[in-house]
Amino acid sequence: MEKGMKKSEFLAFRDALAPASGFQSAQYRLIELGCAPVINIVAESKREGLRHASIEEQMEAIYWRDGAKIESTGQPAYTAVQFIEKYWDDFLFAAQSYEHCNIWECFCQLKRAGMSDTERLSLEKALRLLDLNINVNWPLQHYKTAVRYLSKKPTDIAATGGTNWQKYLPPRFQRRIFYPELWTEVQRAEWGKSWVDDV
């Protein structure tokens, strides 16, 4: 999508979606909840303080709620309010349901039950790939597309859902990592950075 359209075609396409925004994919949010402990998808600035909090408290600080705010006011975008009203109970139910059976928990259970080093290394590689694809590659491709079509001097074109896409999409700002235990300290510190620097 980033290279396959003229700017006018992209803007016509996104106008057909307005006022919806990418953060309004309930299916995507459910996938995230099924992948990792909720604390790993809480906004980075709030994670440490909520590490031992309830699932409900952690969900109130989930990262995408910060992206669903109007830049100039800091208030939630109207589309975000509607999205949360429609799906919040489903998200809470999913978060509670997946607490002990998300992908990370299943991996940990398999490790405790005993698996060969070959099996463990293979699963760790697959989990790192999943982590990169969901938390780096997809948001950065989305960001790269937004930069190509929405960057405009002196003011960028607003996102369809009113989100602050310049701060919401780049993983280096959020460092949302499903499986931090599988990455080195340097890899976590540099999360998504080289890709964004290339944009």
172-191 b/e (C-beta count within 10 Å ≥ 16 → b):
bbbbbbbbbebbeeeeeeeb
pTM of the shown model: 0.80
Distance between CA 106 and CA 117 in Å, rounded? 17
Q: Is residue 149 part of a domain?
A: yes
Q: Is residue 2 part of a domain?
A: no
Given a cut of 60, whether residue 154 has pLDDT beyond it is no
Q: Is residue 132 part of a domain?
A: yes
Integer-rounded Cα radius of gyration of the chain:
18
Cβ-contact 170, 115 below 8 angstroms: no
User: pLDDT digits over 97-130, tens only?
Assistant: 999 999 999 999 999 999 999 999 999 999 999 9
Number of domains in the chain: 1
Q: Is residue 37 part of a domain?
A: yes
Distance between CA 21 and CA 163 in Å, rounded? 8
Range of the domain at 21: 7-197
- Res 37: pLDDT: 98
Q: Is residue 1 part of a domain?
A: no
User: pLDDT digits over 162-173, tens only?
Assistant: 555 566 566 566
